[in-house]
A = this chain, B = another copy of it.
Amino acid sequence: MNDMIDAATANALLKPRSIALVGISDDAAKTNGRPLRFLRAAGYPGTIYNVNPTRTEVQGEPAYPSLSALPEVPEHAFILTNSQLAIDAVEECGRLGIRVATILAGGFSESGPEGAAREQQLRDIAKRTGVRILGPSSLGVVNLREKLVLTANAAFAEPELPIGGIFCASHSGSMLGALTSRGRAKGVGFSGLISVGSETDLCIGEICESTLDDPNITGYMLFLESLSHADALRRFAIGAAQRGKPVVAYKLGRSEAAAELAVSHTGALAGEDAVAETFFRDCGIARVETLEGFLEALPLLGRLPVSKLNTTGRTPTVGVVTTTGGGAAMAVDQLGIRGVAVVPPSAETLARMAERGINVNPGGIVDLTLAGTRYDVMKAALEVMLTAPEFDLVVATVGSSARYNPDLAVKPVIDSASFSDTPLACFVVPEAPQALSLLNEAGVPSFRTPEACGDVIAAAFARRAPGELVQVTAPARGERMLNEADAYAMITPLGVPHAAYKVLNVNEPVPELGFDYPVVVKVLHDEIAHKTDVGGVILPVRDAAELAEAMGRIVDSVGQHLPELTIERVLVQAMGKGLGEVLVGFRRDADVGPLIMLAAGGILTEIYRDRAMRLAPISVETAREMVSEVKALQALAGYRGRAEGDLEAIAQAVSDFSRLALQEDCLVLEAEMNPLLVKAKGEGVVAVDALVRIA
């Protein structure tokens, strides 16, 4: 894992006192002419050195022929040349001791083997000289408080961008423009924005981490195309959670098609979306699925720190107060399809409401339409709801009055927002930019569409406080499979139960087994992972005679399939019987590190991709959440009067198994219990096959 960025580098990156613009164009309208124009327009107070070997003047300012010709060593060089010249420029930066070099050009690893070689050159220079690189394919960095608009993104031609508390880091440079313009329309202001490009050296996690103690930064937006450098991202997320600074992510690659696109777009391996989802949740990062929600999420996340979330697996509950039935129903719908339950006020809450003169129909939501839209009614209803114990969050849905009479329905929302610890959010049904601005300025979580409302609230509740940092080690080159007996030896100390077994030598007589027939007989060999494929499994075997014969048949059959191997041993195992079976998997993902997975067995659960995943290791409590997420396990939870399986024992086994992540004597790359038989409630679970691959 990368170390933390040192303070001098962080300053050179985000608050440089001097900048060199390498390859700056005389044409201020061109992409590589823009940074000078933008810096001057913003009133950047530091020193700017223009470097252009073919001109003595650029955009009316003097230009130097090279970096080494400058009167001082600048802190930050923005290299605007093509990719080949950029390498030379970075080399020069390194030689001169320039701390940060930002590269605009593309044409590196995303464009084939030659580009990848160029990118390796960059890495070598950074390692050799200590220069830190932002990019390639970076559109630059913006720090509004420092009047640093060091970017080639055309969107920053816009004057007087609103300054706020958000730091935004993005793999896509062009998105920074879209986010600032969309943010501006909502009254969302940024502290800084950075385009990290392909993260050859400096990565999003490190950069954000270096800003954690900046008091001006109150939250983070991450626009991601991949999960590369997830270890640094996780370290940043832990730091953000400790400081109560919320983080929201919009990550591409939700669909398989888009995941493939991301590969061709940035050269980064996008990875499976379920892994990303797991990573964000377990790092306490809210992952939203709507663009609008991305821009609207932080106020709610700030009001609902991960440390205060309910983690009992109970479905989060929301109460709704509305001045429009149809509008509220849209929000309820969007919450419901995302697993957030809108619950009715309790009888006690209704009684408290009646005491304050508000009589509403019992039912799902508190509909004030009949009461008319009045400040005092709205305020009183919200105060009662915000102090009712049955709600994790209250949503106020405001209709036409948001557009025509914000004082009647929006002001009471603002005035009630801090009435209790229960967060209050607002969905504004008509087009009402003024109401949204008022809400935003007051820091009240507010939403322009029912989809963003449902999206952000669900994403906020989905988060979990990040666990401790686990060493994420990329799979080593050398790796090997353990045979089944060695695999049991590895998992038994964790407490995971397996079916009784005995290892027999095929050339010796059958001994007492110590457990009952019938049994299953399986070939035992380090190099045979798929035992059935080579005729290496026989069952049921009913007595010692059949066992002796089965050993012979296995030796023959495996010998025919794999004549180069000598088969000396089999594993004989008691045949278990369960109400059902599950698959428990562990793997050390190249991006995000140790993952634990639970799925029901069988072909259908594979087709439905019905599984739960977490960053490992996990507690039993978290494992219980996983059990409740696997839909097929409803069949073992007393579904339609069926016998109940031992779901608690599954949770215990999954939690135990997840501690493979911490194994210190050897690095476990992958492990699986498939199947783990699930017995009746109270009777436990038992692994009847196991597989472990170690580094």
Contacts and interface: CB of A to CB of B under 8 A. Distances in A.
A225 B329 contact: yes
A372 B174 CA distance: 13
Interface in A354-408: 361, 363-365, 367, 369-370, 372, 399-401, 403-404
Nearest to A293: B451
A261 B332 contact: yes
A76 interface: no
A370 B592 CA distance: 32
Given A399-B178, A404-B157, A255 B337 contact: yes
A153 B451 CA distance: 24
A333 interface: yes
Given A157-B404, A326-B172, A178 B257 contact: no
Interface stretch (A416-424, A484-492, A569-577, A629-637): A629-637
Nearest to A177: B400
Given A255-B333, A329-B262, A333-B252, A181 B451 contact: no
A367 to B, nearest CB: 8
Contacts of A621: none
Contact of A336 (B182, B255, B325, B401): B255
A223 interface: yes
B635 A172 contact: no
B326 A404 contact: no
A124 interface: no
Interface of A is mostly: helix
B325 A172 contact: yes
A265 interface: yes
A66 to B, nearest CB: 27
A400 B631 CA distance: 44
A610 to B, nearest CB: 7
Interface in A316-339: 324-327, 329-330, 332-337
Interface size class of A (residues with CB under 8 A): 35 or more
A109 interface: no
Interface string A178-213: 100110110000000000000000000000000000
Q: Which of A154, A337, A431, A608 counts the most B-chain CB atoms under 10 A from its CB?
A: A431
Given A604-B632, A631-B608, A327 B257 contact: no
A330 B252 contact: yes
A566 to B, nearest CB: 30
A7 interface: no
A262 B336 CA distance: 13
Contact of A181 (B225, B431, B634): B431
Contact of A432 (B181, B361, B363, B400): B181
A607 interface: yes
Number of copies of this chain in the oligomer? Answer: 2
Interface in A236-294: 252-258, 260-262, 264-265, 289-292
A336 B256 contact: yes
A356 to B, nearest CB: 22
A171 interface: yes
Given A185-B431, A632-B607, A178 B327 contact: yes
Contacts of A610: 608
A206 to B, nearest CB: 21
B603 A257 contact: no
A337 B635 CA distance: 28
Contacts of A264: 361, 363-364
Contact of A363 (B158, B261, B604): B261
B291 A450 contact: yes
A665 B335 CA distance: 47
B604 A400 contact: no
Interface in A600-643: 602-605, 607-608, 610, 631-632, 634-635, 639-640, 642
Contacts of A174: 324-327, 369, 399-400, 429
17 contacts: A155-B404, A157-B404, A158-B404, A173-B326, A174-B400, A182-B430, A185-B431, A225-B329, A252-B333, A257-B336, A261-B329, A265-B363, A291-B330, A292-B449, A602-B604, A603-B642, A607-B634
Given A178-B326, A184-B431, A608-B608, 11 more contacts: A154-B401, A155-B400, A172-B324, A174-B399, A177-B430, A181-B430, A223-B326, A254-B334, A257-B335, A258-B332, A607-B634
